[in-house]
Chains A and B, each alone.
Chain A
Amino acid sequence: MNESVKTSQHMGRGQISIDNVVKIYDPEGAAVMAVDHCSLEIAAGEICMIVGPSGCGKTTLLNAIAGFHSINSGSITLDGKLLCGPGKPQATPGSDRIVVFQNGALFPWKNVLDNMMFGPVMAGKMGIKEIKEKAFSMMADAGLSGTENNFPGELSSGVRRRVEIVRALMNDPSVLLLDEPYRALDSLTKSVMHEALLDIYYKNKVTIFFITHDLQEALFLGNKVAIMTSRPCKPKKVLTVDIPYPRSYSVVTDQRFRDLMEETSDLVHEEAKKSFAAGEREG
């Protein structure tokens, strides 16, 4: 009963249209084009993976959606409403699109519980008791019970990531924006985190916009994978991963998965070589 309520709540929310977006840094000076007429459609409740070499501009795209950067032309809409575009070059950050940062941005001076409760407490729409209950139940769902009094500095990076994702979900966002969140984790922890993320996804069905340079991660997690060119970025190829959910890690050895890897790894490798030749700095 709970599952269907959750899915119907999120059905139809979180549809993103990226239309012909251009972003140029320092237009009067060095004029570095980070995003070049990029267009992408993301359906509501979809997991969209953005794959590309370092420094190609994918983070810029994420920042534009989140509202941290302005765009020079084009537009981005969320569920039909304009986030940024003509007349409004920069979106306003808000709790409908929450970012999970690459190096983590859990407030180190608040313990896990306070971090989780932060969003709803700021919004002020729910009572403290209600918020606390919600926090405890979401923590239990994500397997984080018992960490409520710990400070982020005391936890391992894997646990911290999960806390950050749950902190975001506490606010009922339409979209989760993840910027290479598992980049710093070892591959063993990564695979566990992937399954944990999917677990959370099945229970919450938010739209996920996930940036990575790890092709296997992309194909395992996503149902839409956009392979980006090196800077300035735009989608080189967009494909749908037709492996059904729920997916377990054994899927990685399936024929279909390996076919997809074959199809795409050449493309990714090509862009990576271009990027390497251009001497891209990290970012």
Chain B
Amino acid sequence: MTNSNDSNPTVKQQRLNFEIREGSLLAKILSPRLFLMLVGFIIFLGFWHLSVEVWRLPRFAQMPALRTVVTEILSPNPTYGISIFVGEYYQHILASCLRVFIAFALATILGVPLGLFLGWSTKFREYVFPVFEMLRPIPILAWVPLAIIMFTSLEAPVIFLAFLASFFVTALNTMLGVESIDESYFRAAKCLGAKDYQVFLNVVIPGATPFIFTGLQISIGVCWFSLVAAEMVSGQFGLGYIINTSYTNVRYPTIIIGMVTLGFIGYLTSAMVRAVGKRLMQWRMRELALSGN
């Protein structure tokens, strides 16, 4: 006997005939988030396909079609020479990745200590930061001719440019990280008898780490940005190089392949940096987890 105020429980039960377990794969696929995401992608790709091949909008006349790009990238014998089955493709990827790796590593090894000292020592900051801030506004690509003049090899200018961009971002963010550390931690350390170098090791470095990693994520993005630009202007091999030469040699679908690859690898490297950060900052992860993030 059901109370007339309740909604009919048997009807409800019938609708949810099978229960979707929370957190199961099926639940994830049917989740609104994933669904919306796919809708977004479909709209974007659909628009691309429709505008080039179906509606043939005049503006899009010369754009490579979605179908062409997809068949090209997946074909073992690509018309324009680059696909996932061609060795050359991976050579270019490797070339770019290697350059980014060297540039980013150098920028981090030099930039983080510099940033730490800039934040830690007022004296050091007052001397060094003005010069740093004078050089920083110069866009990285403006350094290209100078880099070519300075370095005799072909690789060095490209790596130098990526390094420079990365270096400024890393150093600046590290400095801001040190400055963001609450005064109380310094005071507590001093009360507990820590000497200057001990404060540096135990408060400055761990305290700045969250900011440092945010900076590193921005830094690797900037590194890719500069690398691609440098490769487009000078250099052989590399994804920027492919994009540029594909354009000059009228191999348009390859441009898109280059762009997509760049996007994908850029995202991967960024995620890698983020993952390393999470690993090193267990304490922060737990703290954030507890505050409901």
- Determine the chain B residues whose CB is within 8 A of the CB of A1 once the complex forms: none
Closest to B207 in A: A109
Using CB atoms, name the residue of chain B closest to A66: B191
Residues of B within 8 A of A167 (CB): 192
Q: Which of A23-31, A116-124, A184-192, A204-212 contacts B (4 or more CB under 8 A)?
A: A116-124
- Which residues of B from 215 to 231 have beta carbons under 8 Å from A? none
Give the number of chain B interface residues (Cβ < 8 Å): 26
Report how far A152 CA is from B290 CA in the complex, Å.
11
Interface residues as binary, A99-138 with B (CB distance below 8 Å gives 1, 0 otherwise) = 1010111111111000000110011000000000000000
CA distance in complex: A109, B188 (Å): 14
Q: How far is the CB of B149 from chain A (nearest CB, A)?
A: 45
**Residue A95 interfacial (CB < 8 Å):** yes
B192 & A122 in contact (Cβ 8 Å cutoff): yes
Q: Does B194 contact A (CB under 8 A)?
A: yes
Which B residues, 162 to 209, have Cβ-Cβ distances below 8 Å to chain A? 182, 184-185, 187-195, 198, 202-203, 206-207, 209
Kindly list chain B residues whose C-beta atoms are within 8 Å of the C-beta of A103: 184
Q: Is A93 an interface residue (CB 8 A)?
A: yes
Please state if A101 and B184 are interface contacts (CB–CB under 8 Å). Answer: yes
Measured CB to CB, the nearest residue on chain A to B209 is A109
Q: A167–B185 Cα gap in the complex (Å)?
A: 14
The minimal Cβ–Cβ distance linking B155 to chain A, given in whole angstroms, is 39
Contact present for B283 and A109 (CB under 8 Å):
yes
CB contacts (< 8 Å) of B194 on chain A: these are 118, 122
State whether B202 touches A118 (Cβ < 8 A).
Answer: yes
Q: Contact: A154 with B184, CB < 8 Å?
A: no
**With an 8 A cutoff between CB atoms, is B67 at the interface?**
no
Provide the main secondary structure of the chain A interface: loop
Interface presence of B56 (CB below 8 A) = no
Contact A108 B284 (CB under 8 A): yes
Indicate if the CB atoms of B286 and A98 lie closer than 8 Å. Answer: no
B187 contacts A101, C-beta separation under 8 Å: yes
Known contacts A101-B184, A107-B185, A107-B203: does B283 contact A118 (CB below 8 Å)? no
Inter-chain contacts of A123 with B (CB < 8 A):
193
Smallest CB separation, B240 vs chain A (Å): 39
**What chain B residues lie within 8 Å of A151 (beta carbons)?**
282-283, 286-287
Q: Which residues of B contact A68 (CB under 8 A)?
A: 187
| Chain B contacts for A95, CB-based, 8 A | 191-193
Query: In the complex, what distance in Å separates the CA atom of A66 from the CA atom of B206?
Result: 24
Known: A94-B193, A105-B188, A153-B283. 11 other contacts (CB 8 A): A93-B191, A101-B188, A107-B185, A107-B202, A110-B283, A118-B189, A118-B192, A118-B202, A119-B193, A153-B288, A168-B191
9 closest A-B pairs by beta carbon, nearest first, are A153-B287, A105-B188, A109-B206, A119-B192, A93-B190, A105-B184, A95-B193, A151-B283, A122-B194
Q: Residues of B at under 8 Å CB distance from A?
A: 182, 184-185, 187-195, 198, 202-203, 206-207, 209, 281-284, 286-288, 290
